[in-house]
Amino acid sequence: MTSEFWAASSVSRGKVAKVDDSGDGQLIDFKGYTGESFSKVLRAQPHGLSSHPPADAVGIFLRHGSSDRLTAIGFETSGRPRSIPAGTAVLYDDKGNTIFSKGADGVQVRAVQGGFEVKASSGNVLIEAEAGTVTLKRDGMTVTVSDTRVDLGGPAGHRVLTEGGPSDKVFAIL
């Protein structure tokens, strides 16, 4: 190998122009330095995670020696969560929706746009809390499940009447 090979290898920044996510590997078209544009460049992604960067996302690309081979890496938008604590991770999109693994503080799922959906093709959907409460809210309605009771509509409700008489565990606001 000659020194020219290594001199030609470099790392540069670019902006996404177009993404083709239909094949075995994701291919992007992007613009580099003034006047540079590249087509169908493989974008490296880790196993178990796939993303589709929007137009104008900024990332880096590697030039492989003096050849025309390139590899694209990253490509972030200005909405990337910042200043996250060491040891934590966040999965995010360009609308502000996040799944945040917050270390000792647990996991937070936040839907800024759109909804939140849990699907199971068969079996059960289980939400379990070792301690504390589980609260579901929608349009002013609240259902709270604690270790000792279920509150429908909010706390401080009245006992729900069952066939066996007033419940000691289920309460509802009239």
Cβ-count burial 58-75 (b if 16+ within 10 Å, e if not)? ebebebeeeeeebebeeb
pTM (predicted TM-score): 0.66
- pLDDT at position 1 is 47
- pLDDT at position 148 is 92
- pLDDT at position 111 is 92
- pLDDT at position 142 is 92
Where does the chain show beta strands of DSSP type E? 10-20, 27-31, 37-44, 58-63, 70-76, 89-92, 98-101, 107-110, 134-138, 141-145, 150-152, 158-162, 165-172
Instruction: Give me the long-range contacts of 105-114 (CB less than 8 A, separation at least 24).
Output: none
- 69 vs 67: CA distance, rounded Å: 5
- 17 vs 53: CA distance, rounded Å: 10
Sequence-ordered list of residues with C-beta below 8 angstroms from that of 152, at least 6 positions apart, any chain: 142, 143, 160, 170, 171, 172, 173
- pLDDT at position 155 is 85
The tokens describing 20, both together, are 């083709």
Give burial (CB, 10 Å; 0-12/13-18/19+) of 143. Answer: middle
- pLDDT at position 3 is 52
- 152 vs 142: CA distance, rounded Å: 6
Would you give per-residue pLDDT tens digits along the chain (174 residues)?
445 555 567 888 999 999 999 988 899 999 988 888 999 999 988 878 888 999 999 999 888 876 678 888 888 888 888 888 888 899 998 888 999 999 888 999 999 998 888 888 888 888 888 888 999 988 888 999 999 999 999 888 999 999 999 999 999 998
